[in-house]
């Protein structure tokens, strides 16, 4: 029997960053490890500069995500007008955004970006301990219920629209833990209007030395979201397997 912490992620918009260079800020279809652990770290009150504690979380927790609905992509055309750093060799110093905007000249350019979001997406994240260093699952559960910092789904403009409802589950396999959480989860009428297309898929990382998954891996692929340094925005590749929850091996 292993212990799992399962919690729900839902918001009208969510963004799970893919490799982004320049104008295009794409989003993947489901949260990766850096996203979920970033959320957990925010709830625990760990700041961005606390590298050690963030690496502890990365090393000592394993992640699986059940995708009840992967949603659709929304591309937001985002413009930001910013005055240059210097004009006529004099630096421009502004205390507020209003001052920045008033300091604009007619031919100053706006910074353009196309930011992708997922809409109508519903996920269940599942964590298990695989090493020492991270806080206990109970502590993480308490932090999710009473967070220290505002939690958000990828971008700050994506608030959660349903409580995480973190659940500590003892189960033989990862699949059993997820099925139990799905049964217990108070869906009510809120989630029913989130359109579902297809069966619930699960993406999990290799739990070697940890719990059994109880799932068939249909595909294994690499995603660059294992934290090396949050401060330097440095991540390394991580392998994820994809399977379908209803598939009983």
Q: Given the rule CB under 8 A, which residues bind another protein?
A: 10-13, 43, 47-48, 72, 74, 76-78, 80, 82-83, 85-86, 91-98, 100-101, 111, 119-120, 144-152, 156-165, 186, 188, 190-191, 193-195
CA gap 200, 193 in Å, rounded: 16
Instruction: Name the minimum Å distance from CB 182 to another protein.
Output: 16
**Distance from C-alpha of 69 to C-alpha of 200, rounded to nearest angstrom:** 7
Closer residue to another protein, CB minimum distance, 185 or 217: 185
Whichever of 110 and 248 has its CB closer to another protein, that residue is 110
Q: Mapping DSSP to helix (H, G, I), strand (E, B) and coil, where does residue 98 land?
A: helix
Closer residue to another protein in complex, CB, 73/228: 73
The least distance separating another protein from the CB of residue 115, rounded to whole angstroms, comes to 9
Q: In this complex, which beta carbon is closest to another protein, that of residue 21 or of residue 189?
A: 189
Nearest-approach distance from CB 199 to another protein, in angstroms:
18
How many Cβ atoms from other residues are within 10 Å of residue 160's Cβ? 18
Q: Which residue, 71 or 243, has its beta carbon nearer to another protein?
A: 71
Query: For the chain, what's the residue count?
Result: 249
Cα–Cα distance, 204 to 198 (Å, whole number): 18
Find the shortest distance in angstroms from Cβ 191 to another protein: 8
How far is 74 from 89, CA to CA, in rounded Å?
41
Of 195 and 237, CB closest to another protein: 195
- By C-beta, is 212 or 231 nearer to another protein? 231
- At 178 the three-state DSSP class reads helix
Cβ at position 117, least distance to another protein in Å: 8
| Smallest distance from another protein to CB 174, Å | 24
**At closest approach, how far in Å is the CB of 145 from another protein?**
6
Q: Which residues of 93-121 are buried (b: 16+ CB within 10 A; e: fewer)?
A: eeeeeeebeeeeeeeeeeeeeebbbbebb
N- to C-terminal Cα distance for the chain?
18
Lookup: tokens for 61: 């927790």
Chain centre to alpha carbon of residue 56 = 17
**For residue 140, what is the enclosing H or E element?**
helix 137-145
């Amino acid at each position: 029997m292993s212990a799992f912490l399962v919690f729900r992620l839902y918001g009208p918009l969510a963004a799970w960053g893919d490799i982004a260079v320049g104008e295009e800020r794409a989003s993947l279809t489901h949260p990766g490890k850096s996203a979920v652990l970033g959320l957990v770290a925010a709830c625990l009150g760990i700041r961005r500069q606390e590298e050690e504690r963030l690496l502890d979380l990365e090393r000592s927790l394993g992640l699986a995500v059940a995708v009840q609905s992967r949603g659709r992509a929304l591309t937001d055309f985002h413009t930001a007008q910013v005055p240059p750093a210097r004009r006529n060799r004099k630096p421009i110093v502004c205390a507020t955004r209003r001052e920045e905007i008033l300091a604009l000249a007619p031919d100053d350019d706006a910074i353009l970006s196309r930011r992708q979001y997922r809409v109508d997406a519903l996920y269940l994240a599942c964590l298990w301990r695989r090493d020492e260093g991270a806080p206990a699952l109970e502590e993480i559960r308490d932090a999710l219920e009473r967070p220290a910092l505002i939690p958000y789904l990828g971008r700050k403009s994506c608030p959660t629209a349903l409580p995480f409802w973190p659940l500590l589950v003892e189960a033989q396999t990862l699949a059993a833990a997820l099925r139990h959480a799905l049964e217990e989860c108070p869906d009510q009428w809120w989630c029913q209007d989130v359109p579902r297309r297809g069966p619930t898929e699960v993406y999990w990382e290799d739990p070697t030395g940890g719990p059994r998954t109880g799932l068939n891996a249909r595909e294994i692929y690499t995603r660059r979201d294992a934290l090396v340094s949050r401060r330097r925005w440095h991540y390394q590749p991580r392998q994820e397997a994809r399977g379908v929850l209803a598939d009983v091996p």
